[in-house]
Amino acid sequence: MEIITWIGLSQSLFAGFIIASKKKKAISDMILSVWLLLLGVTFLINGISNQLFDQPLPSNSFLLFNPAFYLYIKSLTDRDFKIKWIQLLHMFPFILFQTLVHFKKFQLSYSPSDFSGDELPFTLIYGAAAILSWLVYNSISLLLVHRHRKSLKNEFSTIEDNEKIAWILFVAIFYASFCTFMAAFGLYTLMSGSGPYMLQGITYGVFLFMVYVLGYYGLKQEGIFRNQPIRESVKYENSVLTPAKKSEIKKSIIQIFENNQAYLNPDFCLDMLAGQSGYPKHQITEVLNTELEQNFFQLVNSYRVEEVKNHLRKKNDQYSIEAIGYECGFNSKSSFYTVFKRNTGKTPSQFRDSIV
């Protein structure tokens, strides 16, 4: 336990300072940096407590991890996100619990025989606060990730790995599994009176693992939606667009695609289409989904696939298949092959070989 504590302290501080020193820092990087530094503080306090008390003081890392995880995801997926003083209220339970533990010397009850005095209500309040914090913040965090990933195809024609934030899904699922296990194991510990040491060891071991994951992926994570904000898909039951207006917008979109071949630009996005057409983004998105029955990602890449097919039909085309993909607007080999096979049911090589 002592080894985990001091390794956790050193790694949290190291990762926090490294991320804070990134050249192109975003607000999300600063939040993650502070989050890691605070985790380092909890490791430090736990290490000192083990030296000063007969048993370690209870961990409140959950009350830090839950709101910090939410704020980090919010800052990644919302371009308009700004740090405000009122957001410090998210950390109030963490600060309150830390104060009570270290100044009032409150302890958690781990045995039915200890259910007396201040320990019992403190244990029950802490347990309820930790579970409620986990349920609320993790549910909102997962919803934000889901909306973000869903909206990507309404904004971009090419989706980079850093925009998918798949690693955050892994962290969320792993953390949810860990919290479920800890709730069950905590109940068992409470009834059996086995003491806090095993719980503390598991908790800080997992948070040490989280420090490594957050530090590694947080350092690689780039800002998302640097040029435009994320927006969730909207419902169109109460649309103000008339059929004639929708037809006009649809005609303009098709003209831009077929005459200007804007899809050949690998960075082509909804903002660019809105600028070229002169129509607001929300109206274009509505027409794409209702009139063309495709999102932006599907429409752009359907044109790219058709362009690739035209090249592959030319027997005298000297370009390699990968070069053709890049020429037609794809910015990576993996996305090119994935999209092409999804649209045609064949790989580019299979399609070329099937041409008589």
Q: Quickly count: other Cβ atoms within 10 Å of residue 245's Cβ.
A: 14
Distance CA 289, CA 294 (A): 5
Query: The domain 243-354: what is its CATH number?
Result: 1.10.10.60
Q: What is the share, in percent, of the chain residues with pLDDT greater than 90?
A: 7
- pLDDT of 199 reads 65
Q: CA-based angle 213:5:210, to the nearest 5?
A: 15
pLDDT for res 236: 58
Convert the pLDDT of each residue in 17-26 to its tens digit.
999 888 777 8
**What span, in angstroms and rounded, lies between the C-alpha atoms of 25 and 39?**
20
- Model confidence at 156: pLDDT above 80: no
Give the CA dihedral 167, 172, 176, 178, nearest 10 degrees. Answer: 50
- Cα 336 from chain centre: 24
Q: What is the pLDDT of residue 226?
A: 45
pLDDT tens digits along 277-330: 898 888 888 888 888 888 888 899 999 999 999 888 876 667 788 899 888 998
* 267 vs 198, residue with greater confidence: 267
Instruction: Please give the backbone phi and psi of residue 231, each rounded to the nearest 5 degrees, phi first.
Output: -135, 140
Tens digits of residue pLDDT in 186-243: 677 666 655 555 666 777 888 889 899 988 888 888 766 544 433 434 455 567 788 8
**Across residues 159-187, what is the average pLDDT?**
77
Q: What is the pLDDT of residue 252?
A: 92
Cβ atoms of 7 and 205 within 8 Å: the answer is no
For residue 282, the model assigns a pLDDT of 85
pLDDT in tens, 17-73: 999 888 777 888 889 998 898 888 888 877 776 666 555 555 567 788 889 889 998
- Tokens found for residue 174: 């792993």
CB 73 within 8 A of CB 168: yes
Q: What is the pTM of this model?
A: 0.62
- Are 217 and 18 a contacting pair, CB within 8 Å? no
Task: Quote the tokens at residue 146.
Answer: 């889901």
Beta carbons within 10 angstroms of residue 299's beta carbon: 20
CB 236 within 8 A of CB 278: no
Whether the per-residue pLDDT at 145 is higher than 60: the answer is: yes
How many angstroms from the chain centroid is the CA of residue 49?
Answer: 34
Start-to-end CA distance of the chain, whole Å, equals 69
* DSSP code per residue over 99-156: HHHHHS------SGGG-STTHHHHHHHHHHHHHHHHHHHHHHHHHHHHHHHHHHHHHB
Region 323-344 average pLDDT: 88
Q: Is 25 helix (H, G, I), strand (E, B) or coil?
A: coil
pLDDT score recorded for residue 248: 92
Closest CA to 28 of 71, 89, 84: 71
pLDDT for 14? 92
| Helix ranges, 193-295 (H) | 197-220, 243-259, 270-277, 281-290
Phi, psi of 156 (to 5 degrees): -125, 155
Q: Retrieve residue 282's tokens.
A: 């929300």
- List b or e across 100-126, with b for residues whose CB sees 16 or more CB atoms inside 10 angstroms: bbeeeebbbbbeeeeeeeebeebbeeb
Q: Which residues have C-beta within 8 Å of that of residue 232, sequence separation ≥ 6?
A: 147, 150, 151
More reliable by pLDDT, 231 or 2: 2
Distances (CA, A) of 117 to 107, 113, 215: 11, 11, 41
Please state the φ and ψ torsions of residue 193, each to the nearest 5 degrees: 70, 35
Report the distance separating Cα 16 and Cα 280, nearest Å: 41
Q: What is the pLDDT at residue 304?
A: 92
What ranges do the domains of the chain cover?
2-220, 243-354
